Amino acid sequence: MKKITILLAICTLLVASCKSGDGVMTCKKGIYTINTTEIGKAIEGYNGATPLLITVQDDKVSAVEVLENDETPRYLQRAEDGILPALIGRSVEELLGGQIDGVSGATYSSDALIANLKLGLQYYLEHKK
């Protein structure tokens, strides 16, 4: 019984250590997920906010998903295709410190995606445990 109590206490501490408590960032088994919906409200593409769901593992971006938005689909798709694949596997520090190129012809969407990415990654650095 004592072993179960200790194990439950350790599990509770591990889960609590990964949550930021504000719904922006969660962590499961060392994989952090940052949702920029709330923190990136002021970052807009051509037609409004363009939030992202960013997944970080071992201080490297492992996935980026564009969440619900009002951008024109063809321009947003052009920006997604031109930017997001190049982010996968890159370190958080590298992406925050370097230049990320946008996509010509989808400038507003590109700028919004890049700004949301950097905001989310900065949030990750400031709040990870």
- Is residue 63 within 8 A of residue 88, CB to CB? The reply is yes
CATH number, domain containing residue 7? 3.90.1010
> What is the pLDDT, as a whole number, of residue 4?
46
Q: What is the mean pLDDT of residues 2-12?
A: 44
Arithmetic mean of pLDDT, 36-57? 96
pLDDT digits (tens, 9 = 90+) for 16-39: 445 556 789 999 999 999 999 999
Give the single-character DSSP code of 87: G
> Strands 25-28, 60-66: parallel, antiparallel or unpaired by DSSP?
unpaired
Q: Residue 51's domain spans which residues?
A: 2-127
Length of the chain: 129
pLDDT band at 93; cut points 50, 70, 90: very high
Give the global pTM.
0.83
Return mean pLDDT, the chain.
87
Instruction: State how many domains the chain has.
Output: 1
- The span from the CA of 114 to the CA of 63, in Å, is 14
Q: Evaluate the CA torsion angle 73, 76, 81, 87 in order and state its sign.
A: negative
Nearest CA to 76 out of 46, 40, 31 is that of 46
* Distance between first and last Cα of the chain: 30
